[in-house]
Structure 1
């Protein structure tokens, strides 16, 4: 028999979420970040990359072979849990709902992108507030700058890759130009340890 009260209670428990956003040049940064993870991960990690359709299965399979925690594709209606890494599929916006489920959306591209970091950062920050840890890395357009404003306004944490180190500096630079306050600006090899301070 399903204990509905237990499930409802679990859904209300606070969970910290890392939303890792990047585009051109971000795959190597992501791999460096994830290779630092150890068993017993206390947060959920959601990965948003601008990619061509058809690369989803490869990335999930590759990461499952490389790191020690489970990696899953985001499916419509999935409820996120700590200790798992979720990969947003190419071609869909990803929106967090009030019950911590993720919805996939086919609405118009934002900043020429779907998934859009702006869309996810806004909806994740609305539902998570200070429980959101947003990481913005290499990318060739300004997607994420508007979303980062919502993260800062709602007291989430903002961690940005040092632009001069990024393969494509537009994405991290645009966040720094758009937001009055970010919590950390760090090189690639310090991204994980910096984020882990908030786990």
Structure 2
């Protein structure tokens, strides 16, 4: 694995996914130790009427604290944040998340693009964005924006993604910094945390 961007300190990781991504999210969280300090924001497309207990479900997969975001939620180290159903999540300058109920982007609310872009505006090269499995193009434009702002972009390898359309669309727009399989994503995050915590 290339080392250039593993040596960058990160202050926020945003993981975006849709259809087929939940098991991958489980895998990532299961492999985060108590020492993992970089805040993680998970933007997952889901039915507003379904998975109402997603934060509780994810909390069973990790030793980290898991929270469903409330408006003006302060971003804290060592926490995993879940976008609530039917709200966009914005990253704000003063180190907190805000909720937004504006129109859907790519037929989605929460939109991965919205969170990727607002994260890039605030954190720039201290942001890492990971795009997982999905059946639409949400996240593709956002990854391009993140790269324009010197952030680190990672796409789950389309050959391994349950639904490859979303990562493929991102790669059609622009080559990501890394195209990784699931074990490589976990390895990258572990190395990144070591650098960011030192």
Q: Provide the TM-score with structure 2 as the length reference.
A: 0.89
Alpha-carbon distance between aligned partners in 2 of 1:194 and 1:55, rounded to the nearest angstrom: 32
Looking at structure 2, the residues matched to 196 and 159 of structure 1 have their Cα atoms a distance apart, in angstroms, of: 14
**Partners of 1:129 and 1:93 in 2: CA distance:** 20
Q: How does 1:13-162 map to 2 (within 5 A)?
A: 16-55=11-50, 57-162=52-157
Q: How many residues align?
A: 185
- Say whether residues 1:195 and 2:192 are aligned partners: no
Please report the RMSD computed on the Cα atoms of aligned residues, expressed in angstroms: 1.4
The structural deviation recorded for 1:58 is 1.7
Contact 2:133 2:164 in 1 (8 A): yes
Q: What's the offset of the Cα at 1:57? A: 4.1
What do residues 160-186 of structure 1 show as CA deviations (whole Å, max 9, x unaligned)?
10012111111111111112x422111
Dislocated runs of 4+, deviation >6 Å:
none
- For 1:32 and 1:156, locate their aligned partners in 2 and report how far apart those are by CA, in whole Å: 24
Cα pair 1:94 1:120 within 8 Å, conserved: yes
User: Is the Cα–Cα contact under 8 Å of residues 22 and 137 in structure 1 kept in the other structure?
Assistant: yes
2: CA distance, partners of 1:39 / 1:46? 17
RCO comparison, higher one (Cα < 8 Å, 6+): 2
Partner of 1:165: 160
